[in-house]
Amino acid sequence: MIYRLTTPPLGFGTGSMAPKGENDLQYLVMPSGVRIYEQHVPEMEHLLAKEQEIRPALEYIHALGEAAAAWQPGQNLLLKRDGLNASQNAFINETLGEGEVAIVLEDGKKRLEIQETVFAGVWSLRGFVLEEGKVETQGEELFHQQEEISPFPRVVLARVFAAMVAQTPSISPVSGVVNAPSIIVEILDHSRSWKPGVLPYVINLSLLPHTPEDLEMIDSVLGRGRVKILSRGYGNCRIEATALPHVWRVRYFNSMDTLILDTIEISEVPEVACAAVEDIADSAHRLVEIYEVLKEESEVQA
């Protein structure tokens, strides 16, 4: 038996196309680029020409490469910059560059500024003491600088949710609030039950029905934590620790700075901010390469 289609399929024919003079269907602009590694040799010929001056900085870069090569999953290796002068530190900073992830941790009168280098899994840490009653840029004293090799800086994980206990907030009925109370109960339950090794639990606010009042209540209950993270792989991913243990607010923005995904994640740290094991192995190889290039150039300049 042969069946014949007596009506045109949906999406075709008269009325299926936009009228003349009207724009076609518009799609949300998505990220269009990604940052990739390019070998970068510092342009500091005045320092490269002084082999004795540059040697401590080169030795530090060499030690960093060896530490990255020796790194094993579960470890966090620290290398302090002891005995280096301002020029040598500047040379190291220029060599390591800035990668995709930046972190700020404020803990009372101290602040840690952490920048992933262009070598994924190699993090530069700077600690500042903040003095009261002074302009921030003038009231800071650098008290240590070091590098850490790990998927994510352990010093941040040790402090971000230290001594926090999940509280049960009082949720009063508010006009316009629809789904916030049930979402908050879900967040609190997973915050209390979180244990190391548990898979991340993600609540996608972009897909859940909610009102502006819902978001206001959720923000009020979650509060603000001590850590802010910016990951700049595709577009921008902004991550903030909340005042609840192991609860992070993770927002993704496209290259037009438009919010395209709003989530709440219950985990040790969102994976988007972490380096992979393979990344660290690759960084170890590239650190060796850049050390050899710098060493050869300093010998030629000398």
**Residue 222 region by backbone torsions, left for phi larger than 0, else alpha for psi between -120 and 50, else beta:** alpha
- For position 269, what pLDDT does the model report? 95
> Looking at the domain that runs over 45-151+275-301, which CATH code has it been given?
3.30.1370.140
Better-predicted residue by pLDDT, 139 or 242: 242
Single out the residue of 260, 265, 200, 206 nearest to residue 235, CA to CA. Answer: 260
- Using the predicted structure, report yes or no on whether residue 172 has a pLDDT greater than 70: no
User: 100 phi and psi, to 5 degrees?
Assistant: -85, -25
Single pTM value for the model: 0.79
- Using the predicted structure, report yes or no on whether residue 33 has a pLDDT greater than 70: no
* Band (255; pLDDT cuts 50, 70, 90): confident
Candidate from 17-26, 110-119, 156-165, 194-203 with smallest mean pLDDT: 17-26
* Band (97; pLDDT cuts 50, 70, 90): very high
pLDDT of 277-288, one tens digit each?
999 999 999 999
Q: How far, in whole angstroms, is CA 159 from its chain's centroid?
A: 16
- Mean predicted confidence (pLDDT) in 77-105: 92
- For position 40, what pLDDT does the model report? 60
Better-predicted residue by pLDDT, 111 or 267: 267
Percent of the chain with pLDDT over 90: 53
Single out the residue of 106, 151, 111 nearest to residue 267, CA to CA. Answer: 151
Q: Would you state the structure tokens that stand for residue 171, as one six-digit string?
A: 């949720």
Mean confidence (pLDDT) of the chain: 82
Domain boundary assignment for the chain: 45-151+275-301, 160-273
* Band (46; pLDDT cuts 50, 70, 90): low
Q: Are 207 and 264 in contact (CB under 8 A)?
A: no
296 burial class (0-12, 13-18, 19+ CB within 10 angstroms)?
exposed
Candidate from 60-69, 161-170, 234-243, 253-262 with smallest mean pLDDT: 161-170
- Using the predicted structure, report yes or no on whether residue 138 has a pLDDT greater than 50: no
Q: How far, in whole angstroms, is CA 84 from its chain's centroid?
A: 28
- For position 107, what pLDDT does the model report? 79
Task: Please enumerate in sequence order all residues whose Cβ is within 8 A of that of 229, keeping only pairs 6 or more positions apart, or say none.
Answer: 101, 102, 103, 238, 239, 240, 270, 273
* Band (214; pLDDT cuts 50, 70, 90): very high
- For position 124, what pLDDT does the model report? 96
Is the Cα dihedral 146, 148, 153, 157 positive or negative?
negative
- Using the predicted structure, report yes or no on whether residue 275 has a pLDDT greater than 90: yes
Candidate from 83-92, 100-109, 161-170 with smallest mean pLDDT: 161-170
- Mean predicted confidence (pLDDT) in 27-33: 51
- Using the predicted structure, report yes or no on whether residue 174 has a pLDDT greater than 80: no
On the question of a common fold for 45-151+275-301 and 160-273, the answer reads: yes
User: 23 phi and psi, to 5 degrees?
Assistant: -75, 150
Could you please state the CATH topology (level 3) that the domain comprising 160-273 is classified under: Ribosomal Protein S8; Chain: A, domain 1 (3.30.1370)
Q: Can you tell me which residue has the tokens 């620790």?
A: 241
Q: Could you give the CA distance from residue 128 to residue 265 in angstroms, rounded to a whole number?
A: 29
Q: How far, in whole angstroms, is CA 79 from its chain's centroid?
A: 21
- For position 176, what pLDDT does the model report? 82
pLDDT of 217-242, one tens digit each?
999 889 999 999 999 876 789 999 99
